[in-house]
Amino acid sequence: MHPMLNIAVRASRAGGKVISRAFEQHDKVEVELKGTNDVVTNVDVAAEQAIIETIRKSYPKHTIISEEGGVLKGEDDDYQWIIDPLDGTANFVKGIPHFAVSIALRVKCKLDQAVVFDPIRGDLFTASRGKGAQLNGFRIRVKQPKELTGAILATGFPFKKKQHIDAYFNILKTLFVKTSDMRRAGSAALDLAYVASGKVDGFFEIGLKPWDTAAGELLVIEAGGLVTDFTGGHNHMQSGNIVASSTRLLKEILKDIRPHLGESLSK
């Protein structure tokens, strides 16, 4: 295992330990509203602290970009750790056991290492640039369906971007009638990890943040898939609008998405 991936795994397990303990003592979870339809808990903060402390012990000069702490710029900004300590906070708050720790390392603007860790199931998804992706130590690959018929797609509602609700449901309707089924599980990091491991055939969502998608993106790419924005370009980190699937199926998904985008989603 790459030494930096090893640290990412160690950090994800440290964060996951905090989350698992708190999930068993749910009455002690403190919830605050940090924005419209956006909550944070004391567990998010504690898990993030455990993750950052683990990374800083080995790489004190690296930059850290985290959901709760923002940008902690280091002396060596070529190395940037992108962290979501608890992706799926709403699930966690409601006692739904589907959430993950997401950690990615970007080296000179390129995704280099990735971990998505599900602390409830114990599933550890990992990837190193150019070295493939794994689930619990076994190689994983994106499914390669030839068409949308029979496919299962994952998605997330634009609950923080409700101005796009009409466009979103038009996209959903168009894709739903062509596919076998849809899944909306509440964790983009796990959705992308599931694309990488062939559990679902594709994923799309509006308005995500880099810490939601960075680790999952590398997992999908290293598992033989593609990740783009809604126009087939590479602006998804900036726009937050993301599609992930196999090469062939992604083209089909984009073809059905494009007619519903409008100007604001075409960027």
Contact 90, 184 (CB under 8 A): no
Residue 256 marked ligand-binding: no
Quick one: residue 53, left, alpha or beta (phi over 0 = left, psi -120 to 50 = alpha)? alpha
Beta strand 100-107 pairing with 110-118: antiparallel
3-state SS, residue 37? coil
Q: Is 112 known to sit in a ligand binding site? A: no
- Say if residue 147 carries a ligand binding annotation: no
Cα(112)–Cα(97) distance, integer angstroms: 29
Is 217 one of the annotated binding-site residues? no
3-state secondary structure of 195: helix
Strand pairing category for 181-183 and 152-156 = parallel
How far is Cα 266 from Cα 14, in angstroms, rounded to an integer? 39
Residue 78 in marked binding region: no
Helix, strand, or coil (residue 82): strand
Q: Point out the annotated binding site for Mg(2+).
A: 67, 84, 86-87, 212
Q: Point out the annotated binding site.
A: 67, 84, 86-87, 212
